[in-house]
Structure formats: structure tokens, C-alpha cells
Structure 1
């Protein structure tokens, strides 16, 4: 279960097959293997070896992909970080992860310069910059300089097993300080095999990915790609028109997207079902896709929609394309070798249609939170991951996601789940995005408030939208107390909406 053995295998047995398309370059498996070897050997020459941590602060680019697979070959532990991090956040994660080297984009030279005095574990010759237009700034090495003398032959065999750590993925901090999630080679091998099967991928598949590959959602197609030796097209950033164009030109078969990207594609003037006809999978991840967009997608491109609910900590459910209409609104069922329970607060198991906490276990379960056994013990109880999410299963065992338990609103003693109200508000033709949260109320304890973003060219009058929503919700206790119109929602580095910041801002505005 050494995922570092995958690339050399493809380089030997299908060396000329297209492997990676990124930044204007097309690399075969022979080419990709040589580039990965060069970086792996450069890291070893710099004194970085098995078990050491290297951090990356890179956008989607060739060098980030090389770092992933150089780590896999050498037993080095990779710690990918978002390019949206600020100085303090970078320092915190670099120190917490015990990183001994960092490969960053040249635009981070100033930020790293501010904090490098606090990073005593990283020697001065291990600050490497990608994208330097010329010589690297003083105190840094350019990527070209760092790898210039390195060989393209395979690095020494580090003797890896499935138990060796491959990466530390930091949570995005929607509910608190980021935590480092540890994945072994075995866990990533499970991503390779289980998701390749779930997505019906083959060695002839073509994946297109336009989301940031520093987040765990990218591993849903990145690992199966390398397992099968198919083709991966990586966009530096997302643009709906370019995305549609490349699907048609490259005959793309598999895409993994977040809801905002799917909505942008559907609303693009370039959208045409015929242009996307090669697709065999349109996969939604990160948050549930609102029902109205699921209906549009299934009508325009039937038999292609998949959805995944899951946590980086290691439990997932998959809504298969054949269930996308039959079980619309569900986020699917656990894949093979995974188990799921819906538990009450007292730890007993819920019946069908009864809402409780989603818990799961299986072969993708994290080793733990890095250096935080206390948090690991709270999250994994008797081998079961407690997700903190509320949901229920129907009589067939399909999961329906209700909400984050922490986001639940208790009004007049009744549990109100924001998503139920959000599903109503998003139906309004002027609304592009909605987030519902609870605020304190003297009479009811809490009451729901909706924050909304208007669609392009639309204007929203808060009181009118409140009245419209309250006339469409299922129950009186779901009625909104207020509507706030925003230009954009606050988000974390993974792009997830930060309701806690909205709630705090709303409270400050009302108290002033």
C-alpha cells in the first residue's frame, strides 16, 4: 500500500500515455516521473527524508503536483496549505506541523520573510520559491536553482508501508482553530481504489479539475487518476467558459466540482449540453447542491450527477448517478467497507427518518489529529467517527443531511435546522446564495435570520423577501425574523461559509 509505487509503474508500462496537462504543458507518464524524481532527489540532497514534513503554499501548478508525488516516493510527509492564508495563519500551521522545508509561490516571499525568524525548524536553504521571474530574493532559493543539480533517476527506496504517514491536511477552521488531519499511505490507497470504482473510472478516463488541489476534496479524483494511470487536466483557477471549452476539446469524462462552480457552469452563456456530452460524471462535493440546480442538471445532462457527503477525517457517503433522481435530496449511502450509524444524544441508534448525529467508520478513517490525542479521542469513540452533523436515513438506508448540529436553532423549545429554511429561500428568483443562522431572542430563545446575496442584475428588498419566505416555509417556527442582504459571504480558506462571523456581525450591528 505504498502510493509512491504508482507513478513508476505507469512510467514503465505506459510511458507515453498523457498523464498531466497544466500551465500550458502536457506531460506523459515518462515525463512526469522524471520531473518528480528530480524534486525528490533535490529534497533528499537538502537533508529532507522519510518522516520529515514539507509544507507547500502554492496555487494549482505543476510544482504542487510534483511535490505530492515526490513526497509519496520518498516517505516525506506533505503539508499542503492554502494560498489564502495570512502571515499569522501560515506561521501557526508551519510551526504546528513541524515543517522542515517550505515550497511557496514567489508572491509569498514577503509574508515568509516576516515570519521566518519564528520558524527555527526550517533552515535558510529550504525556503524555496516557485514562479520567480529572475533570481530569488535574498534568503530564498528559486525552484529552478533548488532542483538544477538533481538527478532524474529514481530516488532510493525508503521502505514504505501502508502505515507510513503521507500527508497532514489542516481543517479549514469553520468551527474553531485548524486541526491537522493525518492520512497514511494505506488511507490514500483506499481513496485510489474505492473512488475509482465508485466513479466508474478506467485508464482511458480524462479528469478535469479546476478547484484548489490543496483541499481534501481534490483527492476524490486525484488519487484514482494516479491509481489508474489516466489523464488529469488541472486548471490554475476556475473559469466557467474555459471549463466548458476544455471539456469539449479534451473529451473530458470526469469532473469534481463545488456547488458554486456547478451553478456558474449552468448559468454561463457558453453552457450547452452538447458541449458537455463526453462527461460520464459531474460530481458535487463540499456542500449539498440546492435542489433547483440538481433538477436543472439532471434534466440537461441526465445520468451523470454524483454527490458526496464526507469529512476529511475519513467518513463518506456517495449518491450514485443511478440514484440521483430516485433519491433526490439524499447524499447517498456509504461505499463498500464503510459503515454508518445515526445516533441519539444518549448513544442509542435512531430509527428510519429520525434525526440524529451521523457517525461512521471504515478504511479511510484518519490516524488522528496531529499532536492532539485529546481531540482525536473526542472525535473517534470506540472506532466510530462522530461527525457533528445531523441527518437521518430513509427506509432504504440512504442518508439525508439535515445540518451541522452546532448550527441548529432552538426556538420556543423546537429544533429548527437552517438548511430547511435555506432550501425555501434559494427558490426565490432574485436570490443567488443564502445562509440562515440563529440569533438570541427574548421571547423564543433563538430566532432565524437569513443572509442573502442577490443574483446579478437583481435587487432584494429585505422585508419583501422575509414575507415571501414566511409564506412558503412548512411551519411557523421556521419563519424568519429578519433578512440581511450582503455583497458576499465571509468564507474560510476552503471557501466554506462562516456563519459564526455572520452571527457575530449581526449582533454587533444590532447592539450599536
Structure 2
């Protein structure tokens, strides 16, 4: 996948686009902050120098087993120090890090192993079935390493001990050399491997420090509340670049009480998460029982944050919220809404509902179906270009053809920009439905429903209807102790949105299905509606379950 630049006019020969190997971030932290803590997990801590030595040793162990530049290393693990290290081990060798969401099934992980062409697998000892599944379908797999004692592979820490003291020179890499296969969530089909490169990621890290958390240094600390396999991993790579320590929760279970206790103990200054987790953190009683005055940035992404949830978080924490919009393919690097623009009050000049303005070095354009730019206020597909855009999908020319047009990456999200260049997301193109000939974007109605004092969470999706073509179906979760009927909510909503935007049915559930990263996904909600017998609508329905 390495490319060379084209010769400009004047006859200058193409040159290699040599860039820094991303593992140098760790090396630099170890040199500058040698004896300072770089990683915390429970009662265990590692200094930057210790981490760098462990990474060298593991890289030497993999090199001895034939791992070279370009090899793909599949990693199935809960958050732990070995998972954290494995990213830099792969980078140092010039290999490609292929992390999974540890909550995926053996079959799902087997698909990732096959699709990536993995030759090595690092797997936590809790997942022997995943190893067996990968071995069945990944013909290039030649080595399995176990995090913890197991029957399926050599122990990771044993290898670190065996190869201790062996230094590894980072592999030489060019701008477009792949470093990470970032698998999409697969909400519209099979997950695809977005190829992230050393040069691209160096820009992303710089941009994160510039736009999301300016002023971050080795004196800061970051709490991890999501799997390091995806967005949280990019966030932690940024922390290493700044020399800021990373703090892991003690287990894979999200413990809100522990999270706030760790914020207080380690004087945590930033964390990355999704809106539903921010909501959980700020609605839990422990938010008032621990000192969180050290927090400067709570960065949320993955979905827009509902306005009512945003207001509650601002009341609890002050102006520390940072929103960014970005897909894995653009490495979270499209827009930013900094703390100063998160206002508690709705009033003149307040941009309610925006996900911010373009990130430094990136350009956003709203395009119609023909790829023409539309004017301010007009809805179209959000397209983006700039150095944060990925190199393309691995071994998937059809997906690449669909995702790029005239050099623009097509996000598949719909939205508009205002006269000031602020972006407003209407929703996924796939979320929109057409009822009676009118386009309906569920996001608008969802925002209205969340203003009802009894409603905690909401998801609205379009379903087939014999009369109108499609109609909306809403699934709500109520606040603790609240009661609400379908008819009461529809009556309350009637004068707040146009009639064609009203959901035809409302279902009240105890909880909404969420992805492994804490996001509500319409695909999972639809599947659950079908499982519960709520769809199709022309059969007897269950109002609640």
C-alpha cells in the first residue's frame, strides 16, 4: 500500500514519503519522562521506561517468530496493559494492529481474522473459543499468543521475560504504510477494514491535541471508559504522544462509582466516551461524591448528544464538554465543538444542535446526489477531505468506489451547514424514512421526545406501512420511577412536530440494545422489535415488554 509522490513539473524525481514510526511516541515519552507513571491499572502502575522495555521485548519475540513489516496481528482482549502495549509492538515492527471489540462473538472475530489476513493472534486467556474459530478460517495464522495462562498459546508475559533487554529499532515507514486496520461497526453489513496509516495517524494525533484537548502535557491523566480497540485507542495514542498517563478501569465491567473514584484519585483531566456514557456518568449519585474538579475535557463522539442530556452534564460538570464528529474512516477528525461553545442556556447566538466547525486542516462539504455542493441550510450528504481521511478499505474495491467521489469521502451522514460554517447532523442517510412522500429525519423528533420529563432514552426508526409507505416507530426507556403510556406520549408530542413526523407506535422498554461501545444502534433496535413480535405493525403489537 506504500505510494510515492508524483514528480511535479520541472522534472524532480519522486521521493519516498518517509515519516515517523508511530511507536516513537512511546520511545520519546520513555526518554523524557522515564520514571513517571505512564499506565495505571488497578493497583498496578508502569513507568514510561518500563512500558518501552516491555514493548521492545514483545516486538523482539514476534520478530523471532517471523513477524515483519506489513504482517497483520489480530488482537482479542479486554482492556489491560498487554492490549495497550500491543499497539506499539505492532507499530514498532511495521506490522498492522488489528484489534477487535472483545465483546464480539467467536464467529465475528473469525471473520475479522480471515478478512484481515492475520498471521498472528494475541488473545486474552478468557477467549479460547475465539482462537478456535479464527484457526478454522484464517489460513495464514501461524502463531497464537495468550494474555494469561491458557492451553491455546504461548504466554505473553513469559515471552516478555524471555526477550527482556532486547532492543528493537522501529521499522522504517512511509506516509501511506498501514499501521492499523480499524474495523467498522458493520451497521450496514459486514465490517470493513478501514486502513489507517502512519502518516495519517501522525496528523490525527497532532490535530487531537490541537483541537480537542489543547494544553495537554505529561502532567495530565486520562481515564479509559471504553474498549481500546477503537476510538478510545486513538485517544490513548494521543495521550502517549503528550506523555499523559492512562488510567484503566479495574475490570471490563463499566463501574460508574469506580470511574469517579479514579478521577479523584489520579486527578484525571480528560476522558473520551460516547453520549450515553456521559449521561450515565452524570446521572449517577457518585458524581456528587467524588472530586472531579481536575477535569478539563470530557470528549464525546459516536453520536450527537441530545440537548437535554447536554444541559444536565453541563450543570453537573461545568464547561468541560468537547464534542467531535468523525467516523472511523476519518479517524474522528471532521468537526469539533469546544467547551466554550457548550452553553447551558438556549438564547441568541447559541448554536443548539450543532456538532461544531471543521477541524484544523480538514474541509467539509454538503453535497447533493450528483456530488454538487449545496448552499447553507440545505440538507445533503456530509462529505470530507483532508489528511485525516483513511487510505481506503482493505481488499474491498467496491466499497472504495462507493465511498469516494472526486476525492471526497462520503460519510453517509446527512446534514447542513449554516452561514457561519457550523455543521448540523440530520442523521444517517439509512435512518431517514419517507412517509406519505415526505422525508422524515428521526433525530428531530427524538430531540422533542427527550424533553418529556419521563423519558430517559429514545430511538425512532422507519418501518414499512401499507398506507403511507413508511411510518415511525419509537422505543422509549423511562426514567426511574416514571410512568407513561403510548397515548400520553403521542398526545404530548402532537403539537411539537408536524403530524407526518409523529411515530405511529410507541413501545416502552426497560432498556435499549447498545453496541459494545455504548451506542444505541438502530439496526439492533429493529432486530429486537422483530424478536419481541412488535414488527411488522399489521399484526397484534406489544406496547411494552
Counterpart contact for 2:54–2:160, Cα < 8 Å = no
Per the TM alignment, residue 119 of structure 1 is displaced from its structure 2 partner at its CA by 2.7
Aligned: 1:83 with 2:99: no
What is residue 210 of structure 2 aligned with on the other side? 197
Structure-to-structure mapping, 1:267-286, within 5 angstroms: 267-272=283-288, 275-286=291-302
State how far apart, in whole Å, the 2-side matches of 1:163 and 1:219 are: 20
- 2:351 is equivalent to residue 330 of structure 1: no
**Of 398, 408, 412, which residue of structure 2 is paired with 1:384?**
408
- Write the distance in 2 (CA, Å) between the matches of 1:250 and 1:502: 37
1:374/1:399 CA distance change after superposition, 3 Å: same
Give the length in aligned residue pairs.
504
Q: Which stretch shifts more, 330-339 or 501-510?
A: 501-510
Partner of 1:188: 201
**Match of 2:425?**
401
Q: Distance in 1 between matches of 2:308 and 2:441?
A: 19
Contact 2:336 2:358 in 1 (8 A): yes
Change beyond 3 A, Cα 1:510–1:129: farther
User: Is 1:416–1:478's contact at 8 Å kept on the other side of the alignment?
Assistant: yes
**Residue number in structure 2 paired with 1:262:** 278
Give the alignment of 1:284-295 within 5 angstroms.
284-295=300-311
Asked whether 1:498 is paired with 2:521, we answer: yes
Task: Return the match for 1:342 from 357, 361, 366.
Answer: 366
CA contact under 8 A between 1:23 and 1:62: conserved in structure 2? no
Cα RMSD, aligned residues only: 1.9
1:310 and 1:157 mapped to 2: Cα distance? 30
Instruction: Specify whether residues 253 and 500 from structure 1 end up closer, same or farther in structure 2 by C-alpha distance, changes over 3 A only.
Output: closer
Corresponding residue to 1:313 among 329, 343, 365: 329
2:66 counterpart of 1:34? no
Structure 2 SS opposite 1:287: coil
Give the match for residue 475 of structure 1. Answer: 498
Task: Note if contact 1:273-1:301 (Cα within 8 Å) is conserved in structure 2.
Answer: no
CA contact (8 A) 2:221 2:270 kept: yes
TM-score by length of 1: 0.94
| Larger deviation, residues 500-509 vs 259-268 | 500-509
2:453 paired residue number: 429
Alpha-carbon distance in structure 2 between the residues aligned to 1:429 and 1:370: 46
How far 1:508 moved relative to its partner? 4.4
Query: Match of 1:289, SS?
Result: coil
Q: Note if contact 1:56-1:103 (Cα within 8 Å) is conserved in structure 2.
A: yes
Cα drift, residue 298 of structure 1 = 2.2
Q: 1:224 to 1:428 in 2, by over 3 A?
A: same
Q: Is 1:167 matched up with 2:180?
A: yes
Question: What is the SS of the residue equivalent to 2:139?
Answer: coil
SS in 2 for 1:491: coil
1:144 to 157, 182, 193: 157
- How far apart, CA to CA, are the structure 1 residues paired with 2:72 and 2:84? 16
Counterpart among 436, 442, 452 of residue 466 in structure 2: 442
Residue of structure 2 equivalent to 1:221: 235
* Residues 114/336 of structure 1: CA separation in 2 closer, same or farther (3 Å cut): closer
Q: State the distance in 1 between where 2:323 and 2:104 align.
A: 28
Are the structure 2 counterparts of residues 178 and 427 from structure 1 closer, same or farther at C-alpha, using a change threshold of 3 Å?
A: same
Q: Over residues 341-388 of structure 1, what are the superposed CA-to-partner deviations in whole Å (9 max), with x where a residue is unaligned? A: 011223221211111110111111110001012211211112111111
CA distance in 2, matches of 1:284, 1:501: 21
Q: Distance in 2 between matches of 1:12 and 1:144?
A: 23
Indicate the SS of the match to 1:369: coil
Please, which runs of 5 or more residues in structure 2 have no aligned partner?
1-19, 344-349, 541-545
Residues 303, 502 of structure 1: alpha-carbon distance in 2 compared, 3 angstrom cutoff: closer
Find the residue that maps to 2:334 and give its secondary structure. strand
Worse-matched range after superposition: 140-149 or 369-378: 140-149
The gaps in structure 1 that reach 5 residues or longer are none
